[in-house]
Chain A
Amino acid sequence: DIQMTQSPSSLSASVGDRVTITCRASRDISRFLNWYQLKPGKAPRLLIYAASTLQGGVPSRFSGSGSGTDYTLAISSLQPEDFATYYCQQTYTTFALTFGGGTTVEIK
């Protein structure tokens, strides 16, 4: 299976800060990379698909980039509702989709 390594595993930031989260795949996944936001008790939310395409309804402060094995999720100006856990997911392999270990964004 393709291993997805996220970093950092957690971070503390303030409202208005720029935040970046990275995700590294164990091999080339050709931009088959999605980002999700999870909050306790709520349905997970798709933020970015195909590495850089913003899902409809997601604020433009979220952006994704990368290629090959290395990908990044950026939040340009952190808002109170953005404190959550973020996961990357690769969908390049047909029968073995995998997620990263997660990055929890906490209030500083």
Chain B
Amino acid sequence: QVQLVQSGAEVTKPGASVKVSCKSIGYTFTDYYVHWVRQAPGQGPEWMGWTNPNSGDTKYAQKFLGRVTMTRDTSISTAYMELSSLRSDDAAIYYCARSLNAPSPTHYCYFDYWGRGTLVTVSS
């Protein structure tokens, strides 16, 4: 049974960093891209980027360039998303999700399994 199991809720301070993990269970970790999506209260989801667990390649949304780092540890089938220089508007639920294909105009890309989300609170 495919599962993406995320780490627990985090409470952080402005200016600090947070690192969220996403453990993949029930499938070959290196066969699927891992995406990170966040949803702030009252807003729609926001895509942050992806990592290719096989190659380690990453692509980040323009908005997060310089502040986000997505990594993976293939030995434990786990992907990580670290966001730095946190601000109050980074408070959100952070999700990981997988896709077979990378986004492109030639291959359909869709997120068929998601984690349950990790609540990140930013408060001084």
Number of interface residues of A (CB under 8 A): 28
CB–CB A43/B113 < 8 A:
yes
Given known contacts A41-B116, A43-B115, is B97 in contact with A91 (CB within 8 Å)? Answer: no
Q: What is the distance, in angstroms, from A41's C-beta to the closest C-beta of chain B?
A: 7
Residue-wise interface mask of B (5-24) relative to A, using a CB-CB cutoff of 8 A (1 in contact, 0 not): 00000000000000000000
Contacts of A60 in B (CB 8 A): none
A102 to B103, CA, bound (A): 21
Bound Cα distance A32, B115 (Å)? 23
**Nearest CB in chain A: distance from B104 CB, A:** 6
Q: Which residues of A contact B115 (CB under 8 A)?
A: 43
Report yes or no: B108 in contact with A49, Cβ–Cβ below 8 A: yes
Across-interface contacts of B103 in A (CB, < 8 A): 91-95, 97
Chain B 107-124, CB-CB to A under 8 Å as 1, else 0, gives: 011111111110000000
Taking CB atoms, residues of chain B closer than 8 Å to A45 are 114
A32 touching B61 in the complex, CB below 8 Å, given contacts A44-B97, A46-B110, A91-B110: no
